[in-house]
Amino acid sequence: MKTVAIAGATGAVGAQMLECLKERKIPVNIKLLASARSKGKIIDGLVVEELKEDSFDGVDYVLGACENDVTKKWMPWAQKAGCVVVDNSSAFRLEDDVPLVVPEINAQDIQNNQGIIANPNCSTIIALVACDALKKEFGIKRMVVTTMQAVSGAGVKGIHDLETQIIDPNAPREAFPYQIAFNLIPQIGDFDDLGISKEEWKMQNEGRKIWHDPDLLVNCTCVRVPVLRSHSESITLECEKEVDVEKAREVLKSALGVQLKDDPQNKVYPMPLDTTNQDDVFVGRIRKDITDPEGKTLSLFCCGDQIRKGAATNAVQILEKLLEQN
């Protein structure tokens, strides 16, 4: 039986990776690794070990759920031990020899890995799963996206901020620079000189790689919202061909990882509370953009659990593909 280590097992994503491995009954030995601070903690009957240079001896696969700096530190140790790493950080996503994979879209890229496969950013995964069938059908050239991202995208500290501020707006802040309860913060990540945040760049940069489409254009505005879990995205798609709402619904109905929730007259549309703790991305509010005289533009709204499909589930699905290959 293969051995899988979760690096960063005590964080929100790491804990979800463990849950996904168990839920999907993946037949592997599991090793939990985290910082010295968490050493000895017991999660689901497993003792957390300190992540050290020799932690990866005897490990076949690593699911990485650490911040970039920590990931860069242990990656050489995992490489030296011959592990194949599925990494959720953004540290290696855009490197040429690292496949960036959403299994529903480009599972075939996994086989080109040199020991690291990167998990895309949460908002990117959710948007691309929602739009992949539409890209195949209509050919997406440009996306205008506003993301509304849950506090748990900032980890357990983000959840803490919202939960404490609901009671006391002046409670000490751990994750966000401003109060997030009853507020919106139009910043996720640092800004560059163009006024675009790191998070806002990811969908274009990562989307081009996943879809093998170097010409993809994405204008993205990322906003933090007082939702505990599940990101939502308002997306307008400029396509090569004329779009058709019925056709869009039809291809989404059979799209992998998608649940069509699109009957607005009967109040059926995606909401982040409904996708919480779900692996599928919900897509709805599909409509032809009446402001495009050529009829090539489609608008939609989608939601997805960014800790599951936006992180842990996607990584575990990649692991499943790796296990199938061997």
* DSSP character at residue 312: I
Give yes or no for a contact between 33 and 5, defined as CB atoms under 8 angstroms apart: yes
The count of other CB atoms within 10 Å of the CB of residue 178 is 12
Instruction: Tell me: is residue 149 an annotated ligand-binding position.
Output: yes
Residues between 152 and 211 that touch its own copies (CB under 8 A): 162, 166, 177-179, 182-187, 191, 194-197, 204
248 binds its own copies (CB under 8 A): no
Q: Which of 47, 108, 114, 245 binds its own copies (CB under 8 A)?
A: 245
* Distance (Å, whole) CA 295 – CA 152: 37
Give yes or no for a contact between 253 and 177, defined as CB atoms under 8 angstroms apart: no
Respond yes or no: is residue 212 known to be catalytic: no
The structure tokens listed for 252 are 């989404």
Instruction: Tell me: is residue 93 an annotated ligand-binding position.
Output: yes
From 294, 164, 134, 143, select the one nearest 226 (Cα to Cα). 164
- DSSP string across 33-65: EE-GGGTT-EETTEEPEE--TTTTTT-SEEEE-
Single-letter amino acid, residue 247: K
Neighbouring residues of 302: CB distance < 8 A, sequence distance ≥ 6: 126, 127, 130, 232, 233, 235, 270, 281, 282, 283, 284
Stretch that binds its own copies, among 10-18, 106-114, 119-127, 225-233 (CB under 8 A): 225-233
297 binds its own copies (CB under 8 A): yes
Q: Which of 170, 254, 265, 325 binds its own copies (CB under 8 A)?
A: 265
| β-pair partners for 289 | none
Select which of 66, 131, 220, 231 is catalytic: 231
Respond yes or no: is residue 160 known to be catalytic: no
270 binds its own copies (CB under 8 A): yes
- Tell me how many residues contact its own copies (CB under 8 A): 55
Residue among 55 and 204 whose Cβ is closer to its own copies: 204
Q: Which of 208, 287, 321, 323 binds its own copies (CB under 8 A)?
A: 287
Helices (H), the chain: 12-23, 68-80, 103-106, 122-138, 155-167, 198-210, 245-253, 272-275, 313-325
Residues between 133 and 152 that touch its own copies (CB under 8 A): 142, 144, 146, 148
Least CB distance to its own copies at residue 306 (A): 14
Instruction: Tell me: is residue 11 an annotated ligand-binding position.
Output: yes
From 101, 86, 87, 16, select the one nearest 307 (Cα to Cα). 16
What is the binding site for its own copies (CB under 8 A)? 142, 144, 146, 148, 162, 166, 177-179, 182-187, 191, 194-197, 204, 217-219, 221, 223, 225-228, 232, 234, 236, 245, 262, 264-265, 267, 269-273, 284-291, 297, 299, 301, 303
Residue ranges of the annotated binding site for phosphate are 93
List, by residue number, the catalytic residues.
Answer: 122, 231
Residue ranges of the annotated binding site for NADP(+) are 10-13, 37-38, 152-153, 306
